[in-house]
Amino acid sequence: MATNKTGNMDILAESPGVGYKLCRKKLHWYIPPGNNRGCAECRRIYTKNKYQTDPVFRSNRIKSALNYESKNKEKINKRNRKRYEQDEEYRKKEQQRVNANRRKKWQKDVAWRERKKKYAVSWAKKNKHVGNAYSVAKRFRKQQAVPAWANLKKIKKVYKQAAALTEQLKVKYHVDHIYPLKSKYMCGLHVENNLQIILASENCSKGNRTWPGQLDCQKGSVSAIFSRELLALLND
C-alpha cells in the first residue's frame, strides 16, 4: 500500500475504479449491494459479534427468524428441496444431521422410541413379503459365498458362541462378516476365518461399509466419489 509523508495510507489512490465505495469502518473498497446499507462484509461481522455478545439482540433475531419461517414455510421448503436435489455435499450433511438427531432422540426420548418400535413391528406384519424377500436374498448370498473348503462345524460354533453371549450378558450380539459378503467394492466369503462376534449395535452401524485394509476412496459412498452420470452408465 502507498503511504504519504504523514504516515497515513493514501487509500484514495488505491481505488479500484468506478462503482466502488470506501468503507469507513475498515477502510477498504467494496461494491455497494444496491440497498444503501453500507459494506455487506462489515455488516455481517458486526451482526455476528452482536449476536454472540448481546442476549437481547440474539433473542430478537431468533424470534424474527421463527416468525419468518412460520409465514414462509412453502417458500423455504421449496428452496431447501431444490438445494437438496442439486447439492450433493448439502444432501450428505443434511442426512448426517437428521441421523444424529434421530440417534439423540432414540437415546433420550423413551416415548418416541416406543412409538418407533411399535411402528416397526406393525410395518413388518403388513409387509411380510418384503422381509421374506430380503431373508431369501441374504440366505442365497451366504450359500453362494460358501466355498467347498469352508468348515461348516466351525461356522456353526461361532453362531452358537454369539447366542450364548447374548443369553449370558443380556445384550444382543451378532456374527459379523469381517469382509462383507456384498458391497459396492468387494465380496467376501462365508467362512470361519471371515467371522467375528460383535455387539449388534456395532454391527448395524458398521453395515457393509468398513473392512480391514480399506482404501480411502472406499470409505465414502459411491455417489460421493463418482458423478451421477457415470453411476447411471455403470448401473446400466
* Residue 176: burial class (beta carbons within 10 Å; 0-12, 13-18, 19+): buried
Q: Is the pLDDT of residue 5 over 80?
A: no
pLDDT surpassing 90 at residue 159: yes
Q: What pLDDT, on a 0 to 100 scale, did the predictor assign at position 1?
A: 42
Q: What is the pLDDT of residues 26-66, one digit of tens each?
A: 666 666 665 566 677 777 777 888 888 889 989 998 999 99
CA distances (Å), origin 73, targets 65, 68, 80, 195: 12, 8, 10, 50
Q: Is the pLDDT of residue 4 over 50?
A: no
Output the nine-digit C-alpha cell for 154: 466351525
What pLDDT sits at residue 181? 87
Give the integer Cα–Cα distance in Å for 78 and 95.
17
Higher pLDDT, 37 or 2: 37
The residue that leads in pLDDT, 223 or 55, is 55
- Summarised one tens digit per residue, pLDDT across range 79-129 is 988 888 888 888 888 888 988 888 888 888 899 889 988 998 999 889 888
* pLDDT of the residue at 164: 93
Confidence at 2, pLDDT banded by 50, 70, 90: very low
Report yes or no: 105 and 112 within 8 Å, Cβ to Cβ: yes
The pTM is what? 0.47
Q: Does residue 8 surpass a pLDDT of 50? A: no
List, for residues 177-212, the tens digit of each pLDDT value: 999 988 888 888 999 999 999 998 888 888 888 888
Taking alpha carbons only, the member of 157, 139, 162, 160 closest to residue 193 is: 157
Torsion of CA 182, 185, 189, 192, to 10 degrees: -100
* CA–CA distance, 84 with 74 (Å, rounded to integer): 15
Output the nine-digit C-alpha cell for 21: 465505495
C-alpha cell at 194: 471371515
Domains of the chain, by residue range, sit at: 14-71, 148-235
Query: Is pLDDT above 70 for 15?
Result: no
88-108 and 110-126 helices cross at what angle (nearest 10)? Answer: 110
Helix orientation angle between 55-71 and 40-53, rounded to the nearest 10 degrees: 110
